[in-house]
Amino acid sequence: MSSAWPGATRYRLTLEYDGGRFFGWQRQEPGTRTVQGVVEEALTRLCGHPVLLVGAGRTDTGVHALGQVAHFDTLKPREPEVFRRALNVLTPPEVTILDAALVPSVFNARRAAWREYRYRVLPRRAASALERDRVWHHPGALDLDAMNRAARYLVGKHDFSAFRSANCQSLTPVREVHRAEWIPMGEEIHFVIRANAFLYHMVRNIVGTLVLTGRGKWSEERFVTVFTGLDRRAAGPMAPAHGLYLSQVHYQTAITLP
């Protein structure tokens, strides 16, 4: 995606946000609060002309971000730090601009080498009063080793139809996963998955299915059979949105200006 205007300057933003306060990333009809919408509104005020913000990932309603990446073009350039500070004043507190940087016009936030998601699960008897909108509470212990044994089959280039939403519009269900593992984090366990791209609801469907193995309801063999069977109806339930975070976005080459 080249610049919309000759002579425009392109910027990259890194954002953190609480997805529970928005109807997803992507701009929708007027009156629907989205992350893209509120940031574009602030950028338009700063730049004095309409601004299109292009994000690396279109997170769903309720899904959070620790490291979303986006770019925009403007005919009224300023120092990146000026944009960062001003945006943090003009956007709601549920959004934070962590970083702003000048990038070449060829940079496109959508063309990431890989994206990484993190899913938080709290496997204990009592729910969390403070993190109830940010972690999936499971009222019992989960077998971390069993879930990791199943998760290892996800790594590589595969057809992920078994974990694809019926509303997914991707042209192909094939994705390449570079990392898929559960790691202990204090009382919580986190599922970390890194891939070149993701299908609609793919991570939440995977987590919901892996938790069945952690409960002892599914064997490793059953997980593999369902995964390779390519039938979403045979897989487990979808995990709730509020435990999911877009944690990292990585680009193949360094982003430097000439």
User: Helices 80-90 and 35-47, interaxial angle, to 10°?
Assistant: 120
Largest CA distance in the chain: 60
The distance from CA 189 to its chain's CA centroid, rounded to whole angstroms, is 18
Residue 177, helix vs strand vs coil: strand
Report whether 245 belongs to an annotated binding site: no
List Cα–Cα distances, 157 to 44, 164, 179, 197, in angstroms: 41, 15, 11, 11
Distance, CA of 80 to CA of 100 (rounded, Å): 5
Distance, CA of 33 to CA of 11 (rounded, Å): 23
Query: Choosing from 18, 60, 143, 231, which is the catalytic residue?
Result: 60
Distance, CA of 107 to CA of 211 (rounded, Å): 38
Q: Is 60 a catalytic residue?
A: yes
Annotated binding-site positions for substrate? 117
The residues annotated as belonging to the active site are 60
Annotated binding-site positions? 117
